[in-house]
């Protein structure tokens, strides 16, 4: 007989229903098949000792009682089993449809344009971000300028990798975390998908500042991130998926921290005018290895805008 499946409550109910239905059929058959106690000849019964004869007669009465009630008991058990089987299948089917939708969506996403950036594309992405952050002109054929940009790119990529590694360490058991991805024509620093709930995702934009910070460039960066979020929503094409959005402003000096704290107030007001809910987190680059960056594990005072 099939053993109950305890992996899911509705599977368990279905398994229990099947067992009860099977029992309602098999048990009466076994009882009826074991009727040797009624086939004892009177002569054989009279040859037994009084005690043995009395035991057999009592067994016959008990067996006769069981045979009387077994049809009604079997019907009751069969009805309960049928009820549990029906309810379990209905509930299981509803859950299975949701599970199938998730699997279909995951398959579609794997087939579509969510691609990792090549090393060359990653470097170009970082160069573009540095240029936008600092309001620089395109790089000229000047060795000094190129060397300076090369050093900035390396530092910027180190910061991004540090953030990625700490997120993997803190949330790797809960989320599937990928970095440097491209969806259509937009690039993404980090995308996190919750393993047990595919409809819960996190998109992270990293902005590292090594020089002076201008509010205009900060707002341009936020608007660019909004375009990336809109692009990702179109890519998913599923209103049931909830994407949290974070911008990490990472600074290297106290003067930068002062400016970011000041600009953040106005930036939040600008974000509130839009349909997007973007959280801004301000971090010191030195604190990245020890920070619970997104503060998903335990709430504590932070620079996070909610």
Q: What is the pLDDT along the chain (306 residues), one digit of tens a residue?
A: 445 444 467 778 888 888 888 887 887 777 666 666 555 666 666 666 677 666 666 776 777 666 677 777 888 888 888 888 888 888 877 777 777 777 666 665 554 556 788 888 888 888 888 888 877 665 555 566 677 888 889 999 999 999 999 999 989 999 999 999 988 888 999 999 888 877 788 999 999 998 888 898 899 999 999 999 998 888 877 666 678 899 999 999 999 999 999 999 999 999 999 988 899 999 999 888 776 787 765 433 333 443
Please check whether residue 272 is in contact with residue 280, taking contact to mean a CB–CB distance below 8 angstroms: no
> What is the Cα–Cα distance from 257 to 244, expressed in whole angstroms?
24
Tokens found for residue 184: 């259509």
Tokens found for residue 229: 């979020």
149 half-sphere exposure, CB direction, 13 A CA radius: 23
> What is the Cα–Cα distance from 75 to 70, expressed in whole angstroms?
8
Tokens found for residue 125: 């992405």
> What is the Cα–Cα distance from 143 to 54, expressed in whole angstroms?
113
- Strand boundaries in 63-185, DSSP class E: 114-116, 175-183
Please check whether residue 204 is in contact with residue 192, taking contact to mean a CB–CB distance below 8 angstroms: yes
**3 state SS of 211:** coil
Q: Which alpha helices (H) appear in 3-142, and where do they start and end?
A: 9-33, 42-46, 50-111, 119-134
């Amino acid at each position: 007989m099939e053993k109950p499946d305890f992996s899911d409550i509705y599977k368990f109910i279905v398994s229990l229903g099947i067992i009860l239905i099977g029992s309602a059929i098999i048990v009466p058959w076994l009882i009826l098949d074991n009727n040797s106690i009624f086939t004892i000849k009177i002569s054989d019964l009279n040859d037994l000792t009084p005690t043995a004869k009395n035991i057999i007669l009592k067994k016959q009465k008990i067996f006769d009682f069981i045979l009387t009630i077994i049809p009604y008991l079997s019907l009751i058990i069969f009805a309960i089993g049928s009820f549990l089987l029906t309810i379990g299948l209905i509930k299981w089917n509803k859950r299975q449809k949701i599970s199938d939708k998730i699997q279909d969506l995951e398959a579609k996403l794997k087939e579509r344009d969510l691609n990792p950036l090549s090393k060359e594309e990653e470097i170009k992405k970082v160069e573009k971000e540095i240029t936008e952050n600092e309001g620089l002109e395109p790089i000229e054929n000047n060795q000094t300028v190129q060397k300076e940009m090369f050093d900035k790119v390396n530092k910027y990529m180190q910061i991004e990798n540090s953030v990625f590694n700490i997120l993997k360490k803190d949330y790797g058991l809960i989320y599937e975390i990928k970095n440097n991805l491209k969806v259509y024509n937009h690039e993404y620093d980090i995308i996190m998908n919750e393993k047990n709930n595919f409809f819960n995702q996190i998109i992270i934009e990293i902005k590292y500042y090594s020089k002076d910070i201008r509010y205009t460039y900060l707002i341009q960066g936020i608007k660019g991130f909004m375009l990336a979020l809109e692009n990702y929503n179109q890519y998913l094409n599923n209103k049931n998926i909830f994407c949290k959005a974070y911008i990490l402003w990472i600074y290297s000096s106290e003067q930068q921290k002062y400016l970011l704290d000041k600009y953040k107030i106005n930036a939040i007001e600008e974000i509130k005018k839009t349909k997007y809910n973007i959280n801004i987190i301000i971090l010191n680059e030195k604190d990245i290895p020890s920070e619970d960056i997104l503060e998903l594990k335990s709430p504590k005072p932070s620079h996070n805008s909610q």
